[in-house]
Each structure stands twice: as structure tokens, then as C-alpha cells.
Structure 1
Amino acid sequence: MTTSEHAFSDAERLAVYRAIHERRDMRHFSGGVVADDMLQRLLQAAHHAPSVGFMQPWRFIRVRSRPLRESLHALVEEERVLTAQALGEREDAFMKLKVQGVLDAAEVLVVALPPGREQHVFGRRTLPEMDLASSACAIQNMWLAARAEGLGMGWVSIFCPLQLAGLMGMPDGSRPMAILCLGPVDAFYGQPMLQTEKWAQRADLADLVFEDCWGQSPGDAGD
């Protein structure tokens, strides 16, 4: 196998791929704490994510107040019911799923996009949603770093953005995009929880990769 002179060592490469493949969207937490120095490492990992135009559109609000956590939990539960109703025939199955760990995780962070994003034109003139994509990269960085540290993390997206923004005292023009639950877990899921619960299955990669035009599989161009 040919490798670049800039490649990591074999052990380092394996560690990167292991974090990617063993990362899970966790919903079950065992309490405990996240040491401040570890939390700072995770935030630094997030802050080193790529961003379009180097706009760095991520903001993190650490939720330490128990009453505020309870309000976040209630907000998610309210939307969980509405989501279940919107799913129609899958309503009962959805209500059986655990969709958050806000009250159980050691740490809870709200990730938001700041106001004034319209000032950043570089990379966003035709794709303004790249601020959201950039912040998702920051969350993924934190997710992988958390897995390497042995911590679980879950991304909760079931909430009303306007209500969450009001709850967190966010300024006009800002936009919440995630509630992150972070902390020790008893065990990591062997496979994605929704796959275990038979809600959905991972798609075959071959069905998602095209060549030269939409729907054309690699190797079909010369047929």
C-alpha cells in the first residue's frame, strides 16, 4: 500500500478511524463529571474545525443551572410529542425511543449561530447555509474527541428554536442548532441506537457514490 510522506503512523491512523467508527449518538449517561481541563480540550477541538471564510460561526453555552436543564428537558419533551404526532403510523414506535439525556449527562451545551452572519459573504453568497455546515463540523470534532477521551455525546435537535433562543437569552439574529449532552457512559452502543431499535439501517455506500453524473455508478461510464 502506498502512503503519503505526510501520513500519520499506523497506530495514529487506526486511532482516527476507530474514533470515527465507534462514535455514537448517545442517549444513556451515567452521571459523573467532566473535568474542566478535559472540557477545554473538547472545546478546543471544536474550535479547530474548518469554517467557510474562516468565519468561525460556533458559540457554546454551558448549561450549569439545574432549573435551566429542567426547562431544556421540558422543551425537548414538548417537541417530542409533536414530532411523534407528525410521524403518523410510526408515532407509537417513536415515543418508545429515548431521544435525550439532558437530565442525566454530566454536561449540557447549547450550540448556536451568532447574529451578524450575513456580513460573511466569502463562501456564502450562493450557499448561505454554510454557517450551519461549519458549525456542524465543530460539533463533529468535539464528538470524535469525546469518543477518544472515553466520553459519550449526544446531539439533541428536537426543540423549537425560537423557544430555546428565548430560554437562553440569545440576541436577535442568533440561531440555536443543537443541545449537546456530554459525559461518562456505562457502555457505548455497539451500533447506532436507531439501527438497534430497527428504526433505520445504514445505507449501502455503493448506493450513495456516483461518477460523473447523478445515478451513474463508478465504472458504468464506459458501458
Structure 2
Amino acid sequence: MRSMPRNDPRQYDDLAAEWWRPAGTFALLHWLAAARAALVPPAATPGRVLVDAGCGGGLLAPHLRGKGYRHIGVDLRRTGLAQAVPHGVTAINGDVTALPLRAGGADVVVAGEILEHVPDLPGTVAELCRVLRPGGLVVLDTLNDTGLSRLITVTLGERLGLAPPGLHDPALFVRPGRLVAEFARHGVTLRVRGVRPSLTGLFRWLVLRRPAHGRRIVPVPSTAVLYQGVGTKIRGIEGRDHA
């Protein structure tokens, strides 16, 4: 892979072939996608809109089948979007800090493994909330800004193959308290809980190089490394609209 600065989005172009390889580089992202989807209830009526911010290759799509949503994926890299389309994702090339979507048009907004990559966290949260309708649901997961998180995901994680080298910039990791406060500014009450990969899943992937089976992401008491968030928008916000 080309030498690039940490968190350079062009890395995903070089890793495009990994999106759908079952035990490949992005295996952990598949597990997290399944865990996110488990937090999304079936649509109240068919055709409700779910916006997948930073959708990558569309890994959430298989886990949403049968839930009745129109799955709209927004991503900065066209290489990922090209792989999301065959899985039923309506692909839109765009930046999560300026979503090219109208205000209040989404029933569900999902932000999986993207918030620890954005230089402008307040702007990104504002956009996620802007496109979410009042009463709508937001589902997310991200990495905590702690020494333990940096050790596991960057120092050890890159050596062990948990993440490609340079994919994360730990300076962008997000403490839960900060994230809860940012969402609250836009009328979204966010609840968080800690999660981690299952030990058996990690063993099968890292040691046996085989796909993990069963429940691969499990809840834990601590949010020190990886955590999920679920929230509901209780009021509207003002903001710019997009076509």
C-alpha cells in the first residue's frame, strides 16, 4: 500500500478488494456492521429512509434485509460505493460533514466506524442530526479517546492485524461524554454502552484465518476502547438544506 499520512481516506481505495473478503482486513468491520444493524428496528412502514453515513462498501446492507428500509449510503470514496451498490445500497458520493441530503428526510441515521475519522466532529454531528427527522433514530459506534484504546487499536492493533497500518489517527478518537454533549446540542439524547469483539471470533480470525461465527460483538461494562451509541431526536434543528 502507498505511504500516506494517518487517516488518509485514499487508503480505502488501495484496500477496496478487502471490503467483502470474509476473513480479510475488514472482517472486524463486518462484525460491527451486524452489531449496529441489531440496534435498528424494522421500519414502521416499507420504504422508510435509512442513511448510512460513511457506508464504505455497504457492509450494513445484508443485515438490514427484510427490515423495510430504503438504504442510502453516503461515502467520500467511490471505490467503496461501487461495491455497496450490488448489495442494494442507493449510493451517494459525498462528505459526512456536508451530507447532500435534505433536512429531516431520514428515519434512521447510522454512523458506523466513521466518527473517529472526521477532523470536524461538531460539524459531522450537526449534519447527522440535520438529516434526521424528529422522532428518528441514530445508531453509531466509534473508538474512545483513551490510552487503552490507542494501545489496542493502534500500537498493538496494527501489529496484530486488527487494523491496517495508518488507518486511524488517535488524535481524532472521541470520548463518549463529548459525543453525548454534541448530540444533545441538536436535540438528540444519546445513550452509550461499551462493546468488544468476542474472544473466539478474534481467535478464528487472527490465528486460524477463518471467518468468525455466532455473536461476534458483545457488550461490556467499560466504554474505554469501543462503544456503541443509540439516540432519538426529540426536536428539530435549524441548518442548511441540500438538494
User: TM-score, structure 1 length as denominator?
Assistant: 0.23
Greater CA radius of gyration, 1 or 2? 1
Structure showing the higher helix proportion among its residues: 1
User: TM-score, structure 2 length as denominator?
Assistant: 0.22
Which structure ranks higher in relative contact order (CA pairs < 8 Å, sequence separation ≥ 6)?
Answer: 1
Structure showing the higher strand proportion among its residues: 2
